[in-house]
Structure 1
Amino acid sequence: MTQIIESVETVATDAGEARVTWHRTGKARLVLAASHGAGGGIEARDLRALAAELPAHGVTVALVEQPWRVAGKKVAPAPRTLDEGWRGVWPVLAAPGLPVVAGGRSAGARVACRTAAELGAHAVLALGFPLHPPGRPEKSRAAELLGAGVPTLVVQGGNDPFGRPAEFPEGSYTLVEVPYADHGFAVPKRAPLGQDEALRILSDGVLEWTSGLA
């Protein structure tokens, strides 16, 4: 049985103190560093599911709380400040000496895409990538996704109002759809699959993708 070691580390950045919650495995081959969105923290169901599943398969998971969340603020700052906080945490994420997959959900996915090439990320995991604001498809953020510059996996809810899978442009990334799921990967009670099954689709998709990373 794989031993999972959990610890919490506070990191000083130019944007304030960030916090990293580690879910380490002794036989890690990758680090998946994932941050939260603009409306929640690392307690998000998709982040919790990955932290519970991936370490048993050789992936250490580091859940990153941006400085604004650590400070108890309710509203996320401007994108450049989010990027600044992420940059400040990166040396700690890279310290184990393993390839680091930069990831996040929603706004955290955008940060990962914007900074991946600059920071030397091995790949990007975008959970619920906010392709556009709800109801505003003309405000596309596809350029951030397409410009990541490294292997990228998008996991998207089938009913995500920030961008349904069919709305995504062609590109060199991989996309996994979680049927019926919304932006937070919640599925309605009337859906033909349950919440646990939806999260299993998410976790299995990420696991298969990480297994294929060189």
Structure 2
Amino acid sequence: MAGVTKAAGVTTETVETDAGTARITWHQAKKARLVLAVSHGAGGGIEARDLTALAEALPAHGVTVARVEQPWRVAGKKLAPAPKTLDTGWRGIWPALAKSGLPVVSGGRSAGARVACRTAAELGAHAVLALSFPLHPPGKPEKSRAGELLGSGVPTLVVQGGNDPFGKPQEFPAGEYELVEVPFGDHGFAVPKRADISQEGAVAVITDAVVEWAGSLG
């Protein structure tokens, strides 16, 4: 661990891993019963609209949110490393996420969701939250990553945009997980202006679904 800083009720912590220095931004619940750890995708950071919205909404419902920046992102690199390296970083971050003794929900968006699914069982995650799970590369449905999702081994919630080119909700295979669709949403949950739902409404679908699901976890 390299250090902790605090500002406006938000705590930022740096953690040393075998993949480099990671960073956790904590959003604490006053009476926490769960920790939700969420990481970013391969092309963005923790400022993504879904991660930001969850950090704002969940603490009021007894869930401390930890937004995690993988080492490559902290180092200022523009391209994510191989999945194996992403998993190494997540493993190194895990002790800091679990130090409170509370159950930890492992989550992330896109590539971060894949990491959460791949490592959930070995790390003892309480559940998995997969935001915009990249079921396949755009236009290449034959290159399915469904095995990662189906192999999480723990209760799993997928939140997927209705127009996500990495996998629309109807493309997902049957399995022991829950799936919530964000109408008209793309991979970043952006909705077109002509959609029957506003951008604020689309984000509310995400936060409402996660609040309800988190409340159902034993």
Whether TM-score is above 0.5 comes out as: yes
Matches within 5 A, 1:76-115: 76-115=80-119
Structure 1 contact 33–64 (Cα < 8 Å) conserved: yes
Q: Which residue of 2 aligns with 1:184?
A: 188
1:156 counterpart SS class: strand
Name the structure 1 match of 2:64. Answer: 60
Amino acid across the alignment from 2:161 = G
What TM-score comes out, normalization by structure 2 length? 0.96
Measure, in 2, the Cα distance between the counterparts of 1:202 and 1:19. 24
Secondary structure of the structure 1 residue equivalent to 2:57: helix
User: Which ranges in structure 1 are unaligned for 5 or more consecutive residues?
Assistant: none
What residue number does 2:4 align with?
none
User: What's 1:38 paired with?
Assistant: 42
1:148 aligns with 2:152: yes
Shift of 1:6: 1.1
- Confirm whether residue 169 of structure 1 aligns to residue 177 of structure 2: no
1:207 aligns with: 211
SS across alignment from 1:8:
strand
Which of 115, 131, 135 is matched with 1:131 structurally? 135
Letter in 1 for 2:36: L
Mapped pair 1:157 → 2:165: no
Q: Does 1:11 align with 2:15?
A: yes
**1:129-175 Cα deviation digits (max 9, x unpaired):** 00000000000000000000000000000000000000000000000
Give structure 2 stretches of 5+ with no counterpart: 1-7
Query: SS of the counterpart of 2:80?
Result: coil
Q: Give the 3-state SS of the residue equivalent to 1:25 in structure 2.
A: coil
Q: 4+ runs of 1 displaced by more than 2 Å?
A: none
Q: Give, as a single letter, the amino acid of the residue that structure 2 aligns with 1:23.
A: H
2:3 aligns to what? none
RMSD: 0.7
The separation in 1 between residues aligned to 2:211 and 2:162, in whole angstroms, is 20
Q: CA deviation at 1:26?
A: 2.0
- Give the SS at the match of 2:60: helix
TM-score by length of 1: 0.98
In the TM superposition, what is the alpha-carbon distance from 1:52 to its structure 2 partner?
Answer: 0.4
